[in-house]
Amino acid sequence: MAAVRRTTCVIWLSFATGCYSPELPEGRACSESDRCPIGQSCDPALRVCASFPPCATPAVSDAFDDGERCVPWGHAYGNATVTEMDGALEVTPSTSGANDGGCEGDGEVAFEDGGLFVEVATPLAPGHGYTGFRIYFTSSPSAQVDVSDGVLALAAYGERAVAEVPFDPSEMSWWRIRPDREVGGVMAEYSGDGSHWSMLGVLPGEPPSAMRIALYAGTTAEDQAPGTARFRNLGVCPRGSSL
């Protein structure tokens, strides 16, 4: 069924109003002779329309399957308990008050056209804090995607959200942040399978050439049972989808 362009505006009392007009989602089946939406082409391996190869290997990747948390690309930080097991990075915020923690990159890597993506297998439940994915830039505001109280949002670090949508765990478990050099900005997207992407929003400005990343979870107040956020497949393509 053909995708339909739509404009959505969602108002939440605790969030900035987020209005966005997403592009046609990527991932429409195609062949080399088919026409794809403007800005997309037919990927020769997956036979889907995409703005670039959907599963090109990024500069940082981690399947979280070696038992070494945040290694080799970063280190654990904050008050949260951070562990790695069963193919997942697990982040459990402290119960002592407002806090967060997770994994943070040790140094900058290239911010290439494919950007970076991660599967957020289990975010903190509504009412128990936030779960996020942030890319730090030295030359422009950092970009972050996080989910809190049932809302998925894109914001510049420390600023109000520029886009937000009601969170659907089955359709929004994969998050991606990448440069959009044609429009001139940093784009955030979501996916249910890691191959078919829809736009969440764009932070305007010239995309930087380098980035440093963080995966995190936290609470805004004391919580005796915050739960555990689980991340999988940092920059690792879904099974059967790698080029």
* CA 57 – CA 53 distance, rounded (Å): 9
Element (H, E) at 156: strand 151-156
* CA 60 – CA 58 distance, rounded (Å): 5
Check which CATH number belongs to the domain holding 96 and give it. 2.60.120.200
In contact, 93 and 102? CB cutoff 8 Å: no
- Quick: pLDDT tens for 16-41: 333 333 456 777 888 766 788 887 88
- Quick: pLDDT tens for 32-79: 667 888 878 887 766 788 877 767 778 899 999 999 999 999 999 999
* CA 115 – CA 199 distance, rounded (Å): 14
* CA 16 – CA 163 distance, rounded (Å): 8
Question: For residue 25, is it within any domain?
Answer: no
pLDDT at 89 over 60: yes
Q: What is the pLDDT of residue 243?
A: 34
Specify the number of domains making up the chain: 1
Question: For residue 209, is it within any domain?
Answer: yes
Side-chain-side CA neighbours of 50 within 13 Å: the count stands at: 19
DSSP at 24: P
Structural domain including 62 reads: 56-232
- Quick: pLDDT tens for 222-243: 989 999 999 999 999 886 443 3
Spatial CA neighbour of 235 closest among 58, 66, 53, 54 = 58
Mean pLDDT of all residues in 177-192: 90
Q: What is the pLDDT of residue 23?
A: 53
Q: What is the pLDDT of residue 11?
A: 30
pTM: 0.81
